Amino acid sequence: MLDALRLPQGPRMSVRGWWRDPWRKPRVLLLFTLLYLVWSLLPVLVAALFSFNAGRSRVTWQGFSMRWYYGDPLRSVWHDASLHTALTHTLWLGVVATALVVPLGVAMALGLDRWRGRIPAGANLAVLVSFVLPEILVAVSLLFVATVLTTPLDLGTTGQVIGLVTFQLSYPVVIVRARLLTIGKDYEEAAVDLGASPLGAVRRVLMRMLLPAIFASAVLVFADVIDDFIIVRYLSGDSSTEPVSVKVYNTARAAPTPALNALTTLLLVASLLAVVLGFVAYRWFTRGEKGVRTLDAFAAET
Amino acid sequence: MAEPRASRAGARWLWPLLALPGTVWLAVLFVAPLYVVLAILFGTVDPILRQPVPVWNPLDWDLSQFRYVWQHIVGENPFFRPALLRTVVYVGVASLLCLLVAYPVAYYTARFAGRWKGVLLAALIAPFWISYMMRMLAWVNLLQADGLVNKALSVGWLPDVHRAWLNGQPTTVVLGLVYGYVPYMILPLFAGLDRTPTAVLEAARDLGANRWETFRRVTWPMSRAAVVVSLLVTTLPMLGDYFTNDLLSGSPATSMVGNLINNSVLTPGQTGQAGAFVVLILIVSIVPMVAYVRSTRAGSEVQS
């Protein structure tokens, strides 16, 4: 009697059967992943939400307003010079550093890919080490150079840009080299066989094929630069060269207003815009390729 | 015949020329400044101005600043030691927690997400585009005495919780580190797990392994390289972190080696100390790096 009842639905009902079913859906993992996403994104969404709070509180909701963006005549991002200078300075650093890092890094990746010898081996090692070395090492050593020695490296925007370029240079090198590995040498050799000079082959064949990787690294570098903290803080000159991250660090524990949330939300919007632009450009340049994995170039960062 | 030779000769100068600007940049602004740190650590301090005086010749190096730091780590009055031990414990625990969180998430995304893979991956990399400081600021808001965390903990019939999360709690610092660095771990893990060939997994199933056995004997060993990379890219940056600590605790009771550097680097006369800790971090981070590079070299030789 009991057996007759159990048999038809046995494997589905019993816990042991469920556990042993090799094709069961991984519900626990799914739940874990979803919980992770909530934990990782919800706090930021709450912080962004409170930038629209009508009151001073970053804890109690007092109604929607744009007060902290432009409404408040003193403390809003628009009216408080120290806040909007931080934002424009951050974006400026992002643009300048990216514009320097990407060409430098792409050329370096191309060169290191083919140049054999001890110098390129050393350069390779330096790239790898600077890729994972704690940022504070780069920041402190450059700070020492700027403060102890007499060099053209000065604190302020120049120093910040130099520090950022140094620290970020490994990103495009690593990403572009990963892409070079998948491209192989066939296309370039074909171009040379057809009469192109080496430089011509690089310019007209390789560069075209590298464009997605170049865009991916530009987006990553830009996002990383505007997120940077240690280098830009140590190498900042006066308060006019303090970017958003330093502003947050200086005021987060000292009774900030939701204007600080508004400032970081604006930076987030800028960062997302860069990502969307980069993604659109990336899709545009890879539109003809079959089987291209959209996120590969981003994953190649690792 | 002349033309290919000419182009090959052209190529000979082309690659060094392309690589040269970046190489010179790194040599001048990355490697040389590390030497400046050494010259300052083994240099002297101007007695009046309290300015560091670097000594360039290794033969003339003055060990007194180094000895000062060393004695306060291992000597009788070890006031640097707690922060160093704390760094080891905090970073160790945080890295392990990161792995415990990141591995299942990356595993699910790589193996089971199906057509949601792209969307899920985009959501997982989203924190990359959110400023680290904003993410920490978000937690400062949530963990305030009257913040949402305490409110959520004392909701309904529960007693009111007034826990001071932000006044030197090791738990807060470690969880802050996990929250901050876990996204950087998920990506390399995902990249590694995504490359696991399905055929191998199916073979394991066909040979009678259940889910757990397949994971333990196939997936996990195959992902070990990715685990090492992901630990490297999260643990090493954590070693130099001081801002997470400053924002979420701000108390010397939880300070780590990064805080030691940050506190002494701008203090006149203590520059050498900062240099000593910088060199310490440098050594601690370069050793696993070199080990990793050697192991991948051995691995690629086996593969090819």
Q: How close does chain B come to A157, measured CA to CA in Å? A: 16
Q: Supply the DSSP symbol for B160.
A: P
Residues of B in contact with A299 (CB under 8 A): 187, 190-191, 194
Domain A81-299: give its CATH architecture.
Answer: Orthogonal Bundle (1.10)
Q: Residue B65 falls within a domain, yes or no?
A: yes
B167 lies in the same domain as B292: no
For residues B211-220, give the mean pLDDT: 85
Is the Cβ of B156 closer than 8 Å to some Cβ of chain A?
no
B158 lies in the same domain as B282: no
Q: Residue B190 falls within a domain, yes or no?
A: yes
Q: What is the domain extent for residue B226?
A: 85-265
B211 lies in the same domain as B111: yes
B122 lies in the same domain as B248: yes
**Given this model, what pLDDT does residue B3 score?**
45
Residues of A in contact with B30 (CB under 8 A): 126, 130, 138, 166
Residues of chain A with pLDDT under 50: 1-11, 291-295, 297-302
Q: Residue B26 falls within a domain, yes or no?
A: no
Query: A108, B22: Cβ pair inside 8 Å?
Result: yes
For residues B280-289, give the mean pLDDT: 86
Rounded distance, CA A236 to CA B98, Å?
A: 32
Q: Residue B2 falls within a domain, yes or no?
A: no
**Given this model, what pLDDT does residue A121 score?**
87
Interface subset of A 179-218, CB within 8 angstroms of B: 192, 195, 197-199, 202
**Given this model, what pLDDT does residue B5 score?**
46
**pLDDT grade for B298, boundaries at 50, 70 and 90:** low
B248 lies in the same domain as B292: no
**Given this model, what pLDDT does residue A107 score?**
93
Tabulate helix, strand, coil % of chain A (nearest 5): 75, 0, 25
| pLDDT tens digit sequence for B32-78 | 999 999 998 888 888 787 788 888 888 888 888 888 888 888 888 88
**Given this model, what pLDDT does residue A279 score?**
81
**Given this model, what pLDDT does residue B86 score?**
92
**Given this model, what pLDDT does residue B69 score?**
87
Query: A123, B22: Cβ pair inside 8 Å?
Result: yes
B289 lies in the same domain as B260: no
Query: B22, A169: Cβ pair inside 8 Å?
Result: yes
B138 lies in the same domain as B43: no
Q: What's B116-152 look like in SS3?
A: HHHHHHHHHHHHHHCCHHHHHHHHHHHHCCCCHHHHH
Q: Residue B11 falls within a domain, yes or no?
A: no
Query: B19, A275: Cβ pair inside 8 Å?
Result: no
Better-scored residue on pLDDT, B6 or B147 = B147
Stated pTM of the model: 0.85
B134 lies in the same domain as B230: yes
**Given this model, what pLDDT does residue A162 score?**
94
Is the Cβ of A100 closer than 8 Å to some Cβ of chain B?
no
| pLDDT tens digit sequence for B255-270 | 899 999 998 888 887 8
Q: Residue B22 falls within a domain, yes or no?
A: no
**pLDDT exceeds 60 at position B7:** no
B94 lies in the same domain as B235: yes
Q: Which element (helix H / strand E) includes A278?
A: helix A258-285
Q: Cα dihedral sign for A134, A136, A139, A140?
A: negative
For residues B162-171, give the mean pLDDT: 81
Q: Helix (H, G, I), strand (E, B), or coil: what is residue A69?
A: helix
B43 lies in the same domain as B144: no
Q: Residue B3 falls within a domain, yes or no?
A: no
**pLDDT exceeds 80 at position B161:** no
Q: Where in chain A are the domains?
A: 2-45, 81-299
Q: How close does chain B come to A271, measured CA to CA in Å? A: 6
**Placement of tokens 């140094």 in the chain:** A166
B138 lies in the same domain as B168: yes
For residues B218-235, give the mean pLDDT: 89
**pLDDT grade for B143, boundaries at 50, 70 and 90:** confident
Number of domains in chain B: 2
Q: Residue B21 falls within a domain, yes or no?
A: no
Disruptive mutation site among A45, A141, A235 for chain B (greatest number of B CBs within 10 Å): A141
**Given this model, what pLDDT does residue A285 score?**
75
Which CATH number covers residue B117? 1.10.3720.10
B73 lies in the same domain as B166: no
**Given this model, what pLDDT does residue A1 score?**
42
Q: How close does chain B come to A132, measured CA to CA in Å? A: 6
